Amino acid sequence: MENKRTLVVALGGNALLKRGEPLEADIQRKNIELAARTIAQLTRQWRVVLVHGNGPQVGLLALQNSAYANVTPYPLDILGAESQGMIGYMLQQALKNHLPEREISVLLTQVEVDANDPAFLNPTKYIGPIYDEAQARALQAEKGWVFKADGNAFRRVVPSPQPKRIVENDAIRALISRDHLVICNGGGGVPVVEKADGYHGIEAVIDKDLSAALLASQIHADALLILTDADAVYLDWGSPPQRPLAQDRPALGRA
C-alpha cells in the first residue's frame, strides 16, 4: 500500500442532488458522476475515505413511506440505512468506473448518540424537498412534521443529535489498511443508542459534517474536506447582514 496521507471527504446530500432539482435518480446519477470524477483525482495524492449526506434522499424515502396508508411508517433510522445503500451503490459504481483497479467498499455504518441529547427537543436537520409556505403548513397539519425556513423556501426538520462513537470504527480501519476506498457514515450514520441489551435505532438524522469530523478523529486522518452546494461559508447566515467568509480565524470559528 502506498504511503499516502488519509483524507476524509464529506460530500453533502445537497451536492448529490442540488437545491431545487427534481428528486430523480438520473439527475442524482449525473451529479454523482461529477463528484466521482473529482474524488478519483484526489486519490492520486490521498487515501480517501468518503462520507456522504442524505438530506434530500431520506426525505424522499419518508414521503414514499407515507404513501402506504395501511403500513406503519418506517422510522428514520431504517430510512437512513436505506439511503446508505441507495447513495452508496451509486457512488461505488461511479468511483469504480473511474478507478477500475481500486477496491471500493460501502460499509453500512451505525453511529451512537445520546438518547437524552437536547437536539431531540429542537429539530434542526433539514431533510426532503423544498416547499412554499402554504405547502409546508398543509403537510404540518396532515402529518405532524416540523418545518423551518430554508432560504426563501421551507423544508422538514428532524432531530440531529451529536455523534458520540462510530460503531463500525474497527471495520473501517481494517478496510483502509487493505487500501480500500471506503464509503461509510452515509447520511451521518444510522443513529443508534446503546441499552442494556445492545444497540437500538432512534428517530433522528445525524449531521454528516459532524459525523465526518468524528470519523477523521477516530481514524487519525490527516485532513477533512467538506463539499456542499453552498458557494461559501457565511457569517450571520439567514439574516440581512449575512456575508461570505473568505478566510477563517480561530476566534471566528469559536464564535
Residue range 162-180: mean pLDDT, rounded: 97
Q: What's the confidence (pLDDT) of residue 116?
A: 97
pLDDT of 118 > 70? The answer is yes
Q: What's the confidence (pLDDT) of residue 16?
A: 86
Specify the pTM.
0.85
What are the grid coordinates assigned to 108, written together? 453500512
pLDDT of 178-198, one tens digit each?
Answer: 999 999 999 999 999 999 999
**Side-chain-facing half-sphere of 84: CA atoms under 13 Å:** 28
pLDDT of 252 > 60? The answer is no
CB 182 within 8 Å of CB 218: no
Which residues make Cβ contacts (< 8 Å) with residue 48, sequence separation at least 6?
A: 7, 9, 39, 42, 181
CB 199 within 8 Å of CB 192: yes
Q: What's the confidence (pLDDT) of residue 166?
A: 98
Q: What's the confidence (pLDDT) of residue 26?
A: 95
Torsion 227-232-233-234 (CA) sign: negative
Cα–Cα distance, 1 to 218 (Å, whole number): 21
- The H or E element spanning position 39 is helix 25-42
pLDDT level of residue 105 (50, 70, 90 thresholds): very high
pLDDT of 250 > 70? The answer is no
| 5-254 CATH | 3.40.1160.10
What are the grid coordinates assigned to 252, written together? 471566528
Question: What one-character DSSP code corresponds to residue 85?
Answer: H
pLDDT of 253 > 80? The answer is no
Q: Which residue has the cell 405532524?
A: 144
Q: What's the confidence (pLDDT) of residue 56?
A: 85
- The H or E element spanning position 92 is helix 76-98
Q: Which of 113-122, 201-210, 216-225, 230-239 has the lowest mean pLDDT?
A: 230-239
φ/ψ bin of 220: left (φ > 0), alpha (ψ from -120 to 50), beta (otherwise): left
pLDDT of 22-77, one tens digit each?
Answer: 889 999 999 999 999 999 999 999 999 999 998 888 888 988 888 888 888 899 99
Q: What's the confidence (pLDDT) of residue 13?
A: 72
- CA nearest neighbour of 207 among 7, 19, 14, 6: 14
pLDDT of 70-93, one tens digit each?
Answer: 888 899 999 999 999 999 999 999
pLDDT of 232 > 70? The answer is no
Secondary structure of 189-244 in HEC code, one letter for each residue: CEEEEEECCEEEECCCCCCHHHHHHHHHHHCCCCEEEEECCCCCEEECCCCCCCEE
CB 117 within 8 Å of CB 224: no
Residue range 128-142: mean pLDDT, rounded: 92
Cα–Cα distance, 55 to 129 (Å, whole number): 9
What are the grid coordinates assigned to 74, written together? 418506517
Which residues make Cβ contacts (< 8 Å) with residue 36, sequence separation at least 6?
A: 91, 94, 95, 97, 98
